[in-house]
Amino acid sequence: MPAPISTPSASATPPKTINVFPQTKVRRLLGITTQQMNHWERLRLVEPQLHDQKKVYTFADLIALKTIKQLTRRGLPATRLRNVVEAFRRQMQAAGVPLAELRILHNGRSIAVEHDGLIVDPISGQMHLRLEGEKRENRLEVMPKRSAEKWLALALQCEGNPELRDQAIQAYRHVIEGAPDWVEPYINLGTLLFEQGDRPGAVACYRQAVAVDTESALAHFNLGTALDELKETRAACEHLRMAVRLQPDLADAHYNLARVYDSLGHYRLALPHWRRYLELDPHSSWSEIARQRLTPVKSLQLRH
């Protein structure tokens, strides 16, 4: 059965491709040397991408590099920072470039990480209300509050990497918090949850998407498909009918609606949608099933 579909970013939101910066520009922007960058990369504090055989850096990489520079200036050895980052990855199961997502607290002697409002000693995993002896001026704010646009850019970037799906989910939640009237983040978050097996979570997201944009065929299709998975067949049928009404060329919606009609015993109602699906997508992996539903023998059975 065709599964829910993510939506590309809308024109009002950032494009799916993320801006990257060449090494020379990064050095100029941050005032760091090639030797420093190479050293931090060897320690895997930051891992640039390769584009045309040249190193390029994302916005998250820039934040991580700025953080490393600030902390090493305060006397924290880069090797110790690496130990902190590695420990935090183990303790909190973080992934990607964690320095771009955290707030680091450093008072000249101790270092801790603020994550989701909690202060954690990354080595022991112990939580603190604050660092002993910490003064406000010693608190290093690593990541300024991101706009919804930047969270969306990060979500789209992480979404393409299976190892970063959890980060993508969290980033989409931040987008929704900052821009609750955008339909795309609800759809994409719902699809990620659906793919992870969280059908109720996916349904909740798709319901929000439909509430934000009642004319979104994709939101209705995804909601109908997820409801069908939860055996809420009649509700699924309602939303799949709405999807094909809003977007008559949405092939997967015709297929799933035909399936739902069949499961309800409405075989004659299913027939035009099996036919329409084959018109729109005759060579798909599902097309043979649609043809079987339209065989003369099946049609004869339906007449009796």
Strands 127-128 and 118-120: antiparallel
Percentage with pLDDT > 90 across the chain: 35
- Flag whether pLDDT at 39 surpasses 60: yes
What is the per-residue pLDDT for 40? 86
Average pLDDT over the chain reads 77
Cβ atoms 290, 255 nearer than 8 A: yes
Average pLDDT over every residue of 258-263: 94
Cβ atoms 102, 113 nearer than 8 A: yes
Q: pLDDT tens digit string along 99-155?
A: 555 666 665 556 666 655 556 555 555 545 444 444 444 444 444 456 788 788 888
Fold exhibited by the domain 21-57+59-96+103-140: Multidrug-efflux Transporter Regulator; Chain: A; Domain 2 (1.10.1660)
> Nearest 5°: phi and psi at 43?
-80, -5
Cβ atoms 79, 73 nearer than 8 A: no
Helices 217-229 & 251-263 angle (0-180, nearest 10): 30
Q: pLDDT tens digit string along 230-249?
A: 999 999 999 999 999 999 99
What is the per-residue pLDDT for 226? 95
> Boundaries of CATH 1.10.1660.10 in the chain?
21-57+59-96+103-140
> Boundaries of CATH 1.25.40.10 in the chain?
146-247
| Among 17, 107, 104, 19, residue whose Cα is nearest residue 69 | 104
Contacts 24+ apart (CB under 8 A), 12-17: 12/182, 13/149, 13/152, 13/182, 13/184, 14/149, 14/150, 14/152, 14/153, 14/156, 16/156
- Flag whether pLDDT at 83 surpasses 50: yes
**Matching residue, tokens 């027939």:** 271
DSSP string, 257-274: HHHHHHHTT-HHHHHHHH
Domain 146-247 has CATH 1.25.40.10: yes
Average pLDDT over every residue of 5-30: 59
